[in-house]
Structure 1
Amino acid sequence: MSLELYTKNNCIQCKMTKNFLMQHDIAFEERNVNENPEYIDYLKNKGFQSVPVLEQDNNPIIRGFRPDLLKK
């Protein structure tokens, strides 16, 4: 299982999601749209207009900071 977290700079929800995952020892790869603008098109093609977006094995599972869903 691989988790990818799409983030951007100065995003409070992104920071909170990253902190939650790290505090619970959940491995993920961060993909920052400011550092890699190609991720913007990738997310738009999947219907997303904001971050954070958490994907599992290239399938979106959570959008935004959702501790209730992250706990699952």
Structure 2
Amino acid sequence: MLTIYTKPKGCFGCTKTKQLFTAAGVPFHEVDITTNEEAFLYVTEELGYSQAPVVVFDKDGTENHWSGLNPGKIDQVIAIVTSGN
């Protein structure tokens, strides 16, 4: 499962991250941290991030996450999802 925690207004990294996953045909769940307090607390308090987007990729019980626009990590997730591994 892929979840992208975003700020919808004025967040270039959020928009670009979503565009890259969409272009690759990788489905994701988007959560707006400006309207969802529980999600905001999760990314700031539990994960320790202060920059959107925060991407959380969970596969086979292993969670990988990062903050900000990170094309290298996005490519890794796309490769995993599209290869079926």
SS in 2 for 1:65: coil
Q: Which runs of 5+ in 1 are unaligned?
A: none
**Partners of 2:63 and 2:23 in 1: how far apart?**
23
* Higher RCO (Cα < 8 Å, 6 or more apart): 1
- Structure (1 or 2) with the greater helix fraction: 2
- The alignment yields a C-alpha RMSD, in angstroms, of 1.5
Percent of residue pairs identical: 27
Q: Which runs of 5+ in 2 are unaligned?
A: 77-85
Alignment of 1:1-72 (within 5 A): 2-10=1-9, 11-45=11-45, 46-57=47-58, 59-72=63-76
TM-score (norm 1): 0.86
Structure 1's consecutive aligned runs of 4 or more residues displaced over 6 angstroms after TM superposition are none
